[in-house]
Amino acid sequence: MKNNTDNCNGKMPSLRTFDFEKNVGGGTAVKCSRPMEKQLGRVSCLDTPCLVLDLDMLEGNLQKMQAVAKHAGKNLRPHAKTHKCSALARLQIEAGAIGVCVAKVSEAERLAKAGLANILITGPVVTQQKLGRLLAVRQTMPSLMLVVDHGDSVDWLSASMQAAGLTMDVLLDVDVGLKRSGVLPSDIPALAERVRSRPNLRLRGIQAYAGHVQHLRPYHERRTDSLQCLQQAVPIFRELKATIPTCDIFSASGTGTFDIDIAVPEVTELQVGSYVCMDTEYRGIGSAVDAAQFTAFAPALRVLTTVVSANHRGFVTVDAGLKSLYRDGGVPQVFAPPDAGLTYDWFGDEYGRITYSDPGAAPALGTVLELIPSHCDPTINLFDRFHLVREDSMIGEWPIDLRGCSQ
Amino acid sequence: MKNNTDNCNGKMPSLRTFDFEKNVGGGTAVKCSRPMEKQLGRVSCLDTPCLVLDLDMLEGNLQKMQAVAKHAGKNLRPHAKTHKCSALARLQIEAGAIGVCVAKVSEAERLAKAGLANILITGPVVTQQKLGRLLAVRQTMPSLMLVVDHGDSVDWLSASMQAAGLTMDVLLDVDVGLKRSGVLPSDIPALAERVRSRPNLRLRGIQAYAGHVQHLRPYHERRTDSLQCLQQAVPIFRELKATIPTCDIFSASGTGTFDIDIAVPEVTELQVGSYVCMDTEYRGIGSAVDAAQFTAFAPALRVLTTVVSANHRGFVTVDAGLKSLYRDGGVPQVFAPPDAGLTYDWFGDEYGRITYSDPGAAPALGTVLELIPSHCDPTINLFDRFHLVREDSMIGEWPIDLRGCSQ
């Protein structure tokens, strides 16, 4: 693929040990209505706006994160909230992940329906409706785990499981500074005791997610802060592990700190999400080897967009706006055509503006551009499918079957 | 409904001449799994996050805009890109609208599938894929209209229609300052001639959308700017109308300038969208009668969200984040509980933070809040259905069947 090396500093591994064509669970063949054009890549027979996953890059990303985790002696439990796709979750597990994370019960429902197991729900469940749905998933998935961060919800969860004659594995959600969910480290012993007092809840360990440091620049500041966060949870985990035989999970980390958090011996698994497809927000945070860029993972995710109006000098209008590129985390970047000095900015719900400084680089009416989204998670959630491409071929598509699962 | 008057300055009409229960095309009965609780309104048996449409408010909004248009002698062609719902589009037509607008061909496909007609596509169509899809819609809908803003796309459109032996009604898209699509007024005569030279295209008029002034504050500045924009198109329309018998449509306006643009005699129809459900961005732009608020239309659209973590003083965490409330146009407002001094801010993809200053107003774990989204169009596009409520009852739901139609 002509642009890979340009955009990845030539550092991307190309291991290709997976057989993606055999493993693309939901993949289906795509017929093009006209001959494949290669002007701007192999995907110009796709209508736009649409989401494209570059399988070479995806493969490299999966392999690299798995290799890093394995080398560090950590398990990988990637976050499916990023990609919202059971076929991709299955691929992560086949590549070596011990399971996946989800943020919401409705996401777990869809993954269970797709036949996946070993799912950790990383957010608290506190209402009767949600407990009912959780119970239904648990009935088909003994390996389901859930975090808890409040004594009341421990009681509600226990009562719900007791009524069904089931047990549930739980992690204590430790608030190491994000302040979004979790209990402060000082309150963990009481919460642990609350869980232990319930015979139908099994305490499996802790979750300590430092979400607030994932996008910190520069790298060394991020490193310092992430390690400080995790150190708050280390003595807690040691204590729990020493006294509770079932307590052996320390789930933590994210794409921004994966190579930092592996240095904490107590951490047992990494909850990384965005690495699988990446976005411009993550690519700009800097890394251990490059203060300006974070290029460990390749931008496998692209939004294709078409020039639909070209009546001005200096810019054209494309057909991807707020509803195709989630407005968060900066602005999307133009991936193809490369090196043409094109920049994207939002231009309303349905449109974007592509600015050029060189008149010779002005994209003509009907031209298809490839953009790297600024924030991958909510952008993926705007679409129903990934189109899968490798080099000059379209392989098929995966349904984004967790799309819209916000409950 | 207890909160209506609090939030609408008591100005909202309550005409109730529609029979919504009979007219809710896609409506289905909703069974609650437990008794309806009225603590925070009638919707607490709904799982969250979810979208709720208040039918009393919706009814008032539809009636008011229709009455204003009728009184001014204008047609109404509301924009379905806002609500993405064929049942609601049908209701707008039954209330008196002559048809609806859409931004994308895929939206027209869904409305055609639902049996609607008289659709104007407000954005240019320039690729073979889109022209093929447009043609398929046109084959079932002779009343379909499309804007054009480039000579090349006029030729492509004509060739496409000619091959199928069909004609197509078109409007010239006049760029009155938005610079997103459209041609400058000075280039309109040439484009009009291009259309006229094609026997299978019928020139029906112009579109002049001043999108860049819709959210301008204060009102009088918005008024001045909008009228200046439209005045650029007035002589063009007069000239076309005088020379081309079929040319009788001047489509313009938006929710922010509906009561301004009706003063332009040449304007024949209003392309208003957001008025039907409203959002905090529009409610903050000020109006002719109130410099700080725009309260002509009631906030019929709400996102319900639940407190899922409450371990800090001063704020709690709710389950609606970027994926349930589109991050654009400011921040959502807390509609219920009213007057509790609660404010929302985003807290990641799946969560929000509700801040309170009065400790007595702290929402407890499991509490359901109602929020007014900051930008309605892209927020609606995140969900699959509207839950319909009136006073203390849930009436049913409408599928958001144009959701995700970005092509």
pLDDT of amino acid A63: 97
Q: What is the DSSP string of A167-207?
A: -EEEEEEB-SS--SSSB-GGGHHHHHHHHHT-TTEEEEEEE
Asked whether residue B111 carries a pLDDT value surpassing 70, the answer given is yes
Please name the member of B175, B311, B353 whose beta carbon is closest to the beta carbon of A183.
B311
Contact across the interface for A348 and B182, Cβ inside 8 Å: no
Q: Is B381 on the interface with A (CB under 8 A)?
A: yes
Mean pLDDT, chain A, as a whole number?
90
Contact across the interface for B406 and A129, Cβ inside 8 Å: no
Contact across the interface for A152 and B319, Cβ inside 8 Å: no
Q: CA-CA distance, B339 to B360, in Å (whole number)? A: 12
- The average pLDDT across B361-387 equals 97
Residue with tokens 């008025």: B275
Among residues 105-144 of chain A, which lie with CB inside 8 Å of chain B? 123-130, 132-133
pLDDT of amino acid A269: 98
Instruction: Give whole-number Cα distances, B10 to A36, A159, A266, B336, B368, in Å.
Output: 60, 46, 60, 17, 25
Substitution target in B173, B322, B323 with the highest count of A β-carbons within 10 Å is: B323
- The average pLDDT across B93-108 equals 98
Mean pLDDT, chain B, as a whole number?
90
pLDDT of amino acid A7: 29
Determine the residue of chain A that is closest to B174 in CA distance.
A311
Among residues 228-267 of chain B, which lie with CB inside 8 Å of chain A? none
- The average pLDDT across A311-325 equals 98
Q: Is B291 on the interface with A (CB under 8 A)?
A: no
Residue limits of CATH 2.40.37.20 in chain B: 4-56+294-399
Q: CA-CA distance, B240 to B206, in Å (whole number)? A: 9
pLDDT of amino acid A296: 96
Contact B342, B395 (CB under 8 A): no
Provide, as residue numbers in chain A, all residues whose Cβ is less than 8 Å from the Cβ of B384: 404
Asked whether residue A123 carries a pLDDT value surpassing 70, the answer given is yes
- The SS3 of residue A282 is helix
Note the pLDDT tens digit of each residue in B351-364. 999 999 999 999 99
Q: Mean pLDDT lowest for which of A8-17, A202-211, B279-288?
A: A8-17
More confident residue, B399 or B29: B399
pLDDT of amino acid A40: 43
pLDDT of amino acid A37: 36
Query: pLDDT confidence of A5, banded at 50, 70, 90?
Result: very low
Query: pLDDT confidence of B44, banded at 50, 70, 90?
Result: low
Note the pLDDT tens digit of each residue in B325-335. 999 999 999 99
Query: pLDDT confidence of A19, banded at 50, 70, 90?
Result: very low
- The average pLDDT across B297-301 equals 98
Note the pLDDT tens digit of each residue in B73-98. 999 999 999 999 999 999 999 999 99
Please name the member of B33, B128, B150 whose beta carbon is closest to the beta carbon of A311.
B150
Residue limits of CATH 3.20.20.10 in chain B: 58-276
Distance from CA of A109 to the nearest CA of B (A): 14
Asked whether residue B36 carries a pLDDT value surpassing 70, the answer given is no
Q: Mean pLDDT lowest for which of A146-160, A262-276, B37-51?
A: B37-51
Contact B258, B65 (CB under 8 A): yes
Q: CA-CA distance, A351 to A321, in Å (whole number)? A: 4
Domain A58-277, what architecture?
Alpha-Beta Barrel (3.20)
Contact across the interface for A349 and B183, Cβ inside 8 Å: no
Q: What is the DSSP string of B160-183?
A: HHHHHT--EEEEEEB-SS--SSSB
ipTM for the complex shown: 0.91
Asked whether residue B211 carries a pLDDT value surpassing 80, the answer given is yes
Query: pLDDT confidence of A258, banded at 50, 70, 90?
Result: very high
Among residues 50-79 of chain A, which lie with CB inside 8 Å of chain B? 50
pLDDT of amino acid B43: 55
Query: pLDDT confidence of A34, banded at 50, 70, 90?
Result: very low
CATH number at B58-276: 3.20.20.10
- The average pLDDT across B38-42 equals 43
How many other C-beta atoms can be found within 10 angstroms of the C-beta atom of residue A288? 13
Q: Mean pLDDT lowest for which of A22-36, A51-65, B187-201?
A: A22-36
Q: State how far Cα B111 lies from the chain centre.
A: 15
- The average pLDDT across B315-332 equals 98
Asked whether residue A224 carries a pLDDT value surpassing 90, the answer given is yes
Note the pLDDT tens digit of each residue in A149-175. 999 999 999 999 999 999 999 999 999
pLDDT of amino acid B393: 83
For B215, half-sphere exposure in the C-beta direction (CA atoms, 13 angstrom radius) is 16
pLDDT-above-90 percentage for chain A: 87
Please name the member of A47, A180, A309 whose beta carbon is closest to the beta carbon of B309.
A180
Contact across the interface for B126 and A308, Cβ inside 8 Å: yes
Tokens of B71: 């009184």
Distance from CA of A231 to the nearest CA of B (A): 21
Q: CA-CA distance, B254 to A348, in Å (whole number)? A: 14
Note the pLDDT tens digit of each residue in B135-170. 999 999 999 999 999 999 999 999 999 999 999 999
Interface size A-B, in CB pairs within 8 Å, comes to: 175
Determine the residue of chain B that is closest to A82 in CA distance.
B349
Query: pLDDT confidence of A45, banded at 50, 70, 90?
Result: confident
**What is the sign, positive or negative, of the torsion defined by CA atoms of B209, B210, B212, B213?**
negative
pLDDT of amino acid A43: 55
Provide, as residue numbers in chain B, all residues whose Cβ is less than 8 Å from the Cβ of A45: 129
Q: Is A198 on the interface with B (CB under 8 A)?
A: no
Q: Exposed, middle or buried, B251 (CB in 10 Å: 0-12/13-18/19+)?
A: buried
Q: Is A314 on the interface with B (CB under 8 A)?
A: no
The domain B4-56+294-399 is placed in CATH, from the list 3.30.70.1020, 2.40.37.20, 3.40.109.10, 3.30.450.20, at 2.40.37.20
Q: CA-CA distance, A153 to B187, in Å (whole number)? A: 66
Asked whether residue B21 carries a pLDDT value surpassing 80, the answer given is no
Contact across the interface for B181 and A308, Cβ inside 8 Å: yes
CA-based nearest residue to B219, from B288, B294, B274, B281: B288
Among residues 206-225 of chain B, which lie with CB inside 8 Å of chain A? 211
Contact across the interface for B47 and A127, Cβ inside 8 Å: yes
CA-based nearest residue to A338, from A47, A2, A46: A2
Contact across the interface for A149 and B378, Cβ inside 8 Å: no
Residue limits of CATH 3.20.20.10 in chain A: 58-277
Asked whether residue B15 carries a pLDDT value surpassing 70, the answer given is no
Which amino acid does the sequence have at B79? Answer: H
Substitution target in A126, A175, A187 with the highest count of B β-carbons within 10 Å is: A126
Asked whether residue A39 carries a pLDDT value surpassing 90, the answer given is no
pLDDT of amino acid A18: 35
Q: Mean pLDDT lowest for which of A60-64, A394-398, B225-229?
A: A394-398
Q: Exposed, middle or buried, A405 (CB in 10 Å: 0-12/13-18/19+)?
A: buried
Instruction: Give whole-number Cα distances, B332 to A104, A348, B373, B375, B407, in Å.
Output: 21, 19, 5, 8, 28
Determine the residue of chain B that is closest to A318 in CA distance.
B180
Q: State how far Cα B248 lies from the chain centre.
A: 24
Contact A204, A248 (CB under 8 A): yes
Distance from CA of A244 to the nearest CA of B (A): 25
Asked whether residue B40 carries a pLDDT value surpassing 60, the answer given is no
- The average pLDDT across A19-47 equals 43
Provide, as residue numbers in chain A, all residues whose Cβ is less than 8 Å from the Cβ of B125: 308
Q: Is B311 on the interface with A (CB under 8 A)?
A: yes
What lies within 8 Å, CB to CB, of B95 at 6+ separation is B18, B62, B63, B66
Query: pLDDT confidence of A73, banded at 50, 70, 90?
Result: very high
Tokens of B268: 């024949």
Asked whether residue A17 carries a pLDDT value surpassing 90, the answer given is no
Count of helix runs (H) and strand runs (E) in chain A: 13, 17
Query: pLDDT confidence of B392, banded at 50, 70, 90?
Result: confident
Q: CA-CA distance, A238 to A189, in Å (whole number)? A: 12
- The average pLDDT across A231-258 equals 98
